[in-house]
Structure 1
Amino acid sequence: MNRQNAKLTSGIDWSIVGLYMALVIIGILCIFAAEHREGDPLWYNIIHVNKSFSKQIMWFGISMVLATGIWLTDSKFFTATANLFYAFGILLLLVVIGIGRDVNGSHSWLVIGGFQFQPAEFTKICTNLALAKYLSLLETDFKKLRPRLIAAAIALVPAVIIIAQKETGLALVYFSFFLVMYREGLPGVLLVIAFSAVVLVLSALLVENKQILFVVFTVITLLVVYFMRRQIRRKRSLLVLIVAIWAFCSAFVVVVVPYAFTKVLKDYQVKRIYVMLGKDDDPKATYNTRQSMIAIGSGGLLGKGYLKGTQTRYDFVPEQSTDFIFCTIGEDFGFLGCIIFLGIYVALLLRIITVAERQRSTFSRVYAYGVASIIFFHLFINVAMTIGLAPVIGIPLPLVSYGGSSMMTFTILIFIMLRLDADRQMVLR
């Protein structure tokens, strides 16, 4: 029996399992703290089946069943069925548009009996598998333009459908796959261009007088031309490129950004961005972020203590069990508790990257980097959102925020990676 057990657990990366369990336990405790009210017996939330605390334990139990099933599955199954999973995920997203249900303004939920399911979460797994499958094909030369465009399409097609479901937050997560592509050879200049586009958008929003930006771009362009005059003399096409960049930047801030914010984005999306930039002080629009920042700030260095957070106990912060669960940690355990908590995530991400780099197959490496990128994106946006550095877009904290779809998605993502890694180690033996 001992030999059977040893063989069953052979090759598992216990450090990742330990970090996974730590985050799940912290999440369950934080959900309990967010729901606990002064005067309630401690056992009340435990036995009350309608409480998020009890439901999250149930989702964790289901996730463990799924994890066990994945562990007992040959890793070749995931390679062979990657494209089928992707097609199924896209089909689910399309079904949601037709028969989905609106929840909190998002038309992204399927309801089967009493069970609510968000396919946009599940499709992250499908997309990660499909991208890993495509980049691992022998005929895929990622140095060429066509394979890069196909890889981008694999990541962005689900995002476009999810945006149609009014779930912009989860749609943005799919851009995390470009970090994976960067690891596989996507030119760094494209990331620079993306960062520059963000800077241009911010400048267009923060500066009211667009003529000032036009003058600034013109002066910068003239200075570049002056300092590069020798290179321009030798290569006239360089001047054309510089002028084209100047024209694009000017048109982008003067025409494209204003058009997008008046004709493309919804009013609530624009309001959230303006709130983040401090250009909208509407009490209703800023309420969630202000209360979250008050809760985190009131925790001080060491926090008020578990179950002693006033902002949490008296329902000042909305969505305390889901999007804003980080403020519960900040209020109860303070700055030091937040640092330790974020340290667990950093340790998990570093360990996943280590696992990714030791893979012998491109499929396993790309998939592992996809897991790390998704977790990083969720973590960064969620924490930034709760402290006012990002707009409120409804992205859960991985394995910590309440939600069955989120819990099962991250569990499946991680345990498929562990299964792939375990088979690699067995081959080495």
Structure 2
Amino acid sequence: MLKAVSKLSFFNNKEKIKRIEFLLIISYVVLLTIGYFAVKSSVLNSSLEGIEKQQFLWMILGIVFFTLSLFIPERLIKTFAPVLFYLNFFALILVLFSNPISGARRWIRVGPFGFQPSEFFKLSLILYLSYVISEKVSKRYFYFSSLIIIFSSILIYKEPDFSTTLIVLFTWFIIVFVSGKFEKLWQYSLGLALIAGPFVFLNLQEYQKGRILGFLFPEQYALSYFYNTDQAMKAIGSGGILGKGYMSGFMNLTNFVPESHSDFILSVIGEEFGFVGVSLILLLYIIILWRLFKGYKISEDNFWKYYYFGAAFLLFFHVFQNVGMNLGIMPVTGIPLPLISYGGTSILTFSIILGLAAKGLMIEKNITG
């Protein structure tokens, strides 16, 4: 009888292990694939033609890192969350001593390869915050951690990278808020942010102020700060319902939309595949967000609970901001469209973020049966 029960338990465990998070994984791979072909089309007949090969390499590396994330032991993830955070923190200091590229110090180069510490910091931030808030640490330790995060945002701002600075601060705020802990701290922080807002605007770079002014007064800045968005909106609008077909978009082929391979990649998809193509992309993002929110609701482990919410917020913020600036409802920033825009560090970062989320969801399924 005991042997029979033992065998039954063994087979049940095997069944649980097979419960892979298929919806998230499929959505992730499809978005990566769309990204590759969109980048290939966006650089056709331009000086950047050929960079799709690099995008393909990053896509393969992203899938590798996503897969590896599924097999990292849970204990190891939690143990090394602080280590990863502080290594990334020192990388943010180091990058300020690197050679500037187009006036910005954002990349650390190792031979022919380069990476952005500020992109990886998004991953280390949600891991570290999830760890710190889920553990029963002292208030003093949490305040120290928050000071390091604020200092990190200042380092990112100095690169300069204002959009990522906002992402870091918003992510800190949203995870602390959702945790229900340290109420006075986030309330004081919110008040301070509202007071400091006008002073921050006055100290922005001229092009950063221009982007905000272009958003507020599009007609006045149609040929300058609002030009990119205006062209992207025309490209998306010209795609109609079904689009003009792959590599058949006039505005894309004639390079009317600047930065169409990165910030304005949505304009390429909108012109070539129309409303249907854009809707498919948004549907894939919604599926991933739904799975992350599902994990947040069912998880009994606070570490994973905060991680899911942080990952969902990070993904939502990127998608909302990027789609918004392509449609003219948000100011232009350098925030990429996750897994689709050209850029290796961003692809690797979101691959690991979603890989770890899929890992956590598999754990939840095994626990709940």
Category of TM-score, reference length = shorter chain: 0.7 to 0.9
2:361 paired residue number: 421
1:288 Cα deviation from its structure 2 partner: 1.2
Partner SS for 1:98: coil
Identity %: 29
Structure 2: distance between partners of 1:270 and 1:410: 29
- Stretch deviating more after TM superposition (322-331 or 178-187): 178-187
- Within the candidate set 161, 165, 184, 1:167 is matched to 161
1:331-370 equivalence runs, <5 A: 331-370=271-310
Structure 1: distance between partners of 2:232 and 2:136: 49
- Within the candidate set 178, 181, 196, 1:183 is matched to 178
Query: Measured at CA, do residues 177 and 261 of structure 1 come closer, stay the same or move farther in structure 2, by a change above 3 Å?
Result: closer
1:321 pairs with 2:261: yes
CA contact (8 A) 2:130 2:306 kept: yes
Pairwise CA RMSD of aligned residues? 3.0
Query: Measured at CA, do residues 340 and 189 of structure 1 come closer, stay the same or move farther in structure 2, by a change above 3 Å?
Result: farther
1:29-428 equivalence runs, <5 A: 29-37=37-45, 51-99=50-98, 101-139=99-137, 152-153=146-147, 155-174=149-168, 175-185=170-180, 257=198, 259-262=199-202, 264-278=203-217, 280-281=220-221, 283-428=223-368
CA contact (8 A) 2:36 2:59 kept: no
Structure 2: stretches of 5+ with no match in the other structure? 1-10
Matched residue type, 2:153: A
Structure 2: distance between partners of 1:168 and 1:30: 27
Q: Residue by residue, what CA displacement relative to the aligned partner does 1:100-155 show, whole Å, maximum 9, x if unpaired?
A: x33343211111111111111111111111100111112468xxxx7875565454
1:244 paired residue number: none
Query: Measured at CA, do residues 10 and 178 of structure 1 come closer, stay the same or move farther in structure 2, by a change above 3 Å?
Result: farther
Query: Measured at CA, do residues 335 and 68 of structure 1 come closer, stay the same or move farther in structure 2, by a change above 3 Å?
Result: closer
1:196 Cα deviation from its structure 2 partner: 12
Structure 1: distance between partners of 2:192 and 2:330: 17
Query: Measured at CA, do residues 136 and 196 of structure 1 come closer, stay the same or move farther in structure 2, by a change above 3 Å?
Result: closer
CA contact (8 A) 1:325 1:401 kept: yes
2:8 paired residue number: none
CA contact (8 A) 2:108 2:117 kept: yes
2:33 paired residue number: 25
Matched residue type, 2:311: V
1:13 paired residue number: 21
- Provide the TM-score with structure 2 as the length reference: 0.86
CA contact (8 A) 1:134 1:140 kept: no
1:65 Cα deviation from its structure 2 partner: 2.1
CA contact (8 A) 2:221 2:227 kept: no
Query: Measured at CA, do residues 185 and 413 of structure 1 come closer, stay the same or move farther in structure 2, by a change above 3 Å?
Result: same
Q: Residue by residue, what CA displacement relative to the aligned partner does 1:68-87 show, whole Å, maximum 9, x if unpaired?
A: 32222211101011111111
Matched residue type, 1:58: L
1:265 Cα deviation from its structure 2 partner: 1.3
2:3 paired residue number: none
- Provide the TM-score with structure 1 as the length reference: 0.75
Structure 2: distance between partners of 1:77 and 1:51: 39
Query: Measured at CA, do residues 419 and 379 of structure 1 come closer, stay the same or move farther in structure 2, by a change above 3 Å?
Result: same
CA contact (8 A) 2:173 2:186 kept: no
CA contact (8 A) 2:129 2:175 kept: no
CA contact (8 A) 1:107 1:167 kept: no
Q: Residue by residue, what CA displacement relative to the aligned partner does 1:306-341 show, whole Å, maximum 9, x if unpaired?
A: 211111111111111111101111111222332232
Query: Measured at CA, do residues 354 and 310 of structure 1 come closer, stay the same or move farther in structure 2, by a change above 3 Å?
Result: same
Structure 1: stretches of 5+ with no match in the other structure? 39-47, 199-247
Matched residue type, 1:183: V
Structure 2: distance between partners of 1:287 and 1:196: 34
Matched residue type, 1:173: I
Structure 1: distance between partners of 2:120 and 2:15: 30
- Stretch deviating more after TM superposition (115-124 or 352-361): 352-361
Q: Residue by residue, what CA displacement relative to the aligned partner does 1:31-66 show, whole Å, maximum 9, x if unpaired?
A: 12212349xxxxxxxxx9x72221111111112222
Matched residue type, 2:206: D
1:197 Cα deviation from its structure 2 partner: 7.5
Q: Residue by residue, what CA displacement relative to the aligned partner does 1:162-214 show, whole Å, maximum 9, x if unpaired?
A: 001101122222113422223222669978x959977xxxxxxxxxxxxxxxx
Matched residue type, 1:53: E
Matched residue type, 1:29: F
Structure 1: distance between partners of 2:102 and 2:20: 39
Instruction: Tell me the number of residue pairs that the alignment of Structure 1 and Structure 2 aligns.
Output: 353
CA contact (8 A) 1:177 1:373 kept: no
Structure 2: distance between partners of 1:316 and 1:7: 53
